[in-house]
Amino acid sequence: MGSHGIKDRVAIIGMGCTPFREHWNLSTDDLMIDAVEAGLASAGVAKGDIDAWWLGTAQSGMSGVTLAAPLKLEGKPVTRVENYCATGSEALRQACYAVASGAYDMAAAVGVEKVKDSGYQGLNAFPIPTDGTQRSLTAAAMFSLVAPAYAEKYGVDPGELRRVLARIASKNHANGAKNPRAQFRREMDVDAICAMPAVAGMLSVFDCAGVADGGASAIVVRAEDAHRYTDKPLYVKALSMVAGNGSGLLDPEFDYTHFDECEWAANDAYQQAGITDPRRELAMAEVHDCFTPTELVLMEDLGFSARGESWRDCEAGVFDLHGELPVNTDGGLKSFGHPVGASGLRMLFECWLQLRGEAPDDRQITTADRGLALTHNLGGYPGEMVSFVGIWGNRPG
Amino acid sequence: MRGLISVAGYLPHWRLQSAAVAAVLGGNQGKGTRTVASYDEDSLTMAVAAGREALARAVSAAPGSAVPVSALWFATTSPVYVEKSNAPIAHAALRLDGDVIAADAGAGLRGASAALRSALRSTDPAVLVLSGDLRTGPAGSPDERDGGDAGAALLVGDDTHGPLAAEFLGSASATREFLDRWRSPGELRTHAWEERFGQQRYAELADEAWEAALKDAGLDAEQVGTVAVVGPHARAGAGLAKRLGAAGVTVADSLGASVGFTGAAHGPLMLAHLVESSPAGHVVGLVSMADGADVFLFRVTGDGVGAQGNPTEGVTVADQLATGNDSLTYAKYLQWRGVLPSQPPNRPEPARMSASAAERRLDWKYGFVGSRDRSSAAVHLPPARVSFVGGATDDMEPAPMADVPAKVVTFTIDSLAYSPSPPTIFAVCDFEGGGRLPVELTDVTAADVSIGMEVQMTFRRINTADGIANYFWKARPAGRGSGGTATGVKETGVN
């Protein structure tokens, strides 16, 4: 019994990521083909070299045929996975385990989402028949519950917290502005964000992730095979995932200032990777900033800040591009956009660029020599979520 | 002895001032206010609110013994469904036993009188007569102006269960077919023949029934204390009222300037109000004119819960008249009634509920019954098989939570979610004695919500999809009927 991880047993040898946009002219098929072609080219392998595929998409298609048909794969296993907004990470996790098990030599994880064909604003869940008693609240409103609870618990003036949240959005906009693949490439200052009208609690649309179409892919092989394909593979240091049991919605003890699922997933990942001081050992982190209060709380859940201190750290610039621990250097969900099934792989794509020294000069982090990066991908709501944490390194050991 | 075991009236929180109508339409729109069912209320939810109160009073009058309800009748002219019966929804919300018949009294104004008469003359130990109605019409119509929305409940039965609130003395009816008012199912406008024709017919029928009822009760008019004269024509009962006045009978204010005529609910509502507000020994009467005339006479015992001299925590019609929020704009009223269509947020409309999924969770969805883990006492909303504390499986007991008070822990205002009346006001609520539910708030404005606010649960229509009315519970500020006491807290206006 125990979570042992697969540290240094598999490696990423190639990645692709499309720009995240309102791709009115690209279909789900187009996005998958583009993401896969880019990943294969990056690894220098051919479609037929991939022994097994995992496709992550929340709502853009069902079954492995969604990928096999447009790619015209022949006689290969393709598994479609879904795990809320952590879908892309789940596809990657399965591909890594498949290779680590010895079942396959080379696996591919593909994430895609075509969200802009629905005709509605925001993200909308596929309706499952129910008894009609479920909440009809938006995700923005559910996450907005965090802000007043956090302010109350830690004695932060709500006006000051409003500026802290705006600063998180502003930081991610600044990073996204330097990223040609990002959906929003405009810097936004704190005052401008604070002046926006609230749409859910104290949150404005500028506290919410961008809604974009996109795709991303990763090619996975055994660690010992990695150098056959690239001089700079990324080693899988840890993969952890927790599916919450929803007790936060039932339990009067839950106070909306932390996400247990994220803390548990992080602790498991740190144990797998042998990390004891994430704030200093990690070169960077890509976290699930679906809404600004989420990033605020995640800094504590992931152990980057002490409880009740992340608002000060955010304000002090600890997580800025050239701060002590850069977070969401590619713009995050906020600025890069959030095509649900692709986001987890998009996070890894930024680590891939940064740890290999391939990020554009104007957003290359200065901490890359620490050699370790973290991706955190969640789905669901406060009190009821799934959480993934992956740790990736540019050298074994 | 037969009579009224308990009574209750329900007035919705929102009131529309005639002045607010005049501000838009101009002209003389009369004086005072009318009650307005919120966007999430309908004839059934208002009847359920009154039914909960009436049943609670009956339990309170005879603690420890179950109220032996064997039939539930529901009367309205604004049914949620035709073809499908409406009453079983109230049956589920009130958690009545499976051997209780629940059926609709028909979609006419006379339904409540028919059900009441039938209940008073039946041998069933207890019969619950529910009524609820929404009165509306095209903008500026007399029905919009003079109508009101309300629910009422009369629990009729013997005194074998417990004390009666009012003893039945006698009744009589008079019937004659004539065309006065009519409306096709689904139609907004109620049509009417020249009023004077109906007035005269009603005057004759009311006189006949009144004399016959006195005879049935063995009373002289002088022995009757207060009578409510109820009908769709304000002037139809004027002649009878004048004669009653001459005989020393007090004719009750019909609440026209505060509530309005509430259709099929108005007779029961007025009767509940009279029983609640009359001293012991007082003889009260209801004269109800609706395609005929029905007269009922009762002697108030003073023993019934909610009756004067025996005050309880229950909220009376008078209490509700004194509270409510009259800042409703006419535009909002028109939107709520669908007379003025409004643009919803650009989000998917709600999917229809699943009939089978709803039926499996009947007690949760309609009765607001969660479960309590026997080993940890942890309350689960919705009910669960496996406990979130300790993980025990299938060791739960039902936890009825509809009457349990709760407090707001945190809240948010959602302007993006689909709602028939945005924004959605939503709160995480903790229940007294355990249990938490993140749930929508209603009968409240965003500016009035606060952490720590006390709330109570209320049965509401959540949405309508594919013609299916989807019911569940919401939380509303405490002290507004169906449990709790009036607070009279100053409230912010609604736009």
CB A395 within 8 A of CB A235: yes
**Chain A: residue whose CA lies nearest to B408:** A252
Q: For residue B270, give Cα distances in angstroms to A186, B252, B287.
A: 65, 8, 10
Burial class (CB in 10 A: 0-12, 13-18, 19+), B32: middle
E strands, B386-442, in order: 396-400, 406-414, 424-431, 436-440
Q: What is the pLDDT along chain A (397 residues), one digit of tens a residue?
A: 689 999 999 999 999 999 999 999 999 999 999 999 999 999 999 999 999 999 999 999 999 999 999 999 999 999 999 999 999 999 999 999 999 999 999 999 999 999 999 888 777 777 889 999 998 889 999 999 999 999 999 999 999 999 999 999 999 999 999 999 999 999 999 999 999 999 999 999 999 999 999 999 999 999 999 999 999 999 999 999 999 999 999 999 999 999 999 999 999 999 999 999 999 999 999 999 999 999 999 999 999 999 999 999 999 999 999 999 999 999 999 999 999 999 999 999 999 999 999 999 999 999 999 999 999 999 999 999 999 999 999 999 9
Burial class (CB in 10 A: 0-12, 13-18, 19+), B171: buried
3-state SS assignment for residue B424? strand
The answer to whether residue A5 sits within a structural domain is no
Q: Is B334 left (phi over 0), alpha (psi -120 to 50) or beta?
A: alpha
Nearest to A86 by CA among A292, A343, A357: A343
Ranges of each domain in chain B = 2-181+189-331, 401-495
Inter-chain residue contact B436 with A252, CB threshold 8 Å: yes
Nearest to A141 by CA among B446, B329, B254, B333: B446
> B336-351: b or e for each residue (b if 16 or more CB lie within 10 Å)?
bbeeeeeeebebeebb
Residues ≥6 apart with Cβ < 8 Å to B121: none
Active site residue A322: no
Same-domain status, A63 and A199: no
Inter-chain residue contact A133 with B365, CB threshold 8 Å: yes
CATH of the domain at A265: 3.40.47.10
Identify which of B380, B430, B472 has the shortest CB distance to residue A133.
Answer: B472
Same-domain status, A329 and A185: yes
A278-305 confidence digits (pLDDT tens): 999 999 999 999 999 999 999 999 999 9
CATH architecture for the domain at B401-495: Beta Barrel (2.40)
CB B331 within 8 A of CB B493: no
Range(s) of the domain holding residue A273 = 139-207+235-393
Q: Per the structure block, which two tokens stand in for A131? A: 């008894």
| First vs last C-alpha separation in chain A | 24
Q: How many domains does chain A divide into?
A: 2
What pLDDT shows up at residue B66? 80
Indicate whether this complex's ipTM tops 0.95: no
What pLDDT shows up at residue B314? 72
- Helix, strand, coil percentages (3-state) for chain A, rounded to 5, are 40, 20, 40
DSSP single-letter state for residue A249 = G
The answer to whether residue A249 sits within a structural domain is yes
The answer to whether residue A148 sits within a structural domain is yes
B26-75 confidence digits (pLDDT tens): 988 888 999 999 999 999 999 999 999 999 999 888 887 788 999 999 99
Active site residue A85: yes
Model confidence, pTM? 0.94
Residue B481 has pLDDT above 80, yes or no: no
3-state SS assignment for residue A329? coil
Same-domain status, A222 and A263: no
Inter-chain residue contact B416 with A199, CB threshold 8 Å: yes
The answer to whether residue A133 sits within a structural domain is no
Q: Which of A138, A204, A207, A253 to mutate to test the interface with B (most CBs of B within 10 A)?
A: A138
What pLDDT shows up at residue A75? 97
Query: pLDDT band at B350, cuts 50/70/90?
Result: confident
3-state SS assignment for residue A71? helix
Contacts of A249 in chain B (CB under 8 A): 436-438
CB B268 within 8 A of CB B154: yes
Q: Which of A133, A152, A247 to mutate to test the interface with B (most CBs of B within 10 A)?
A: A133
Q: Is B2-181+189-331 a CATH 3.30.70.3270 domain?
A: no
3-state SS assignment for residue A26? coil
What pLDDT shows up at residue B308? 46
The strand pairing partners of B400, in sequence order, are B369
Same-domain status, A96 and A149: no
What pLDDT shows up at residue B493? 54
Residues in chain B: 495
CB B167 within 8 A of CB B298: yes
**Chain B: residue whose CA lies nearest to A252:** B436
DSSP single-letter state for residue B216 = H
The answer to whether residue A129 sits within a structural domain is no
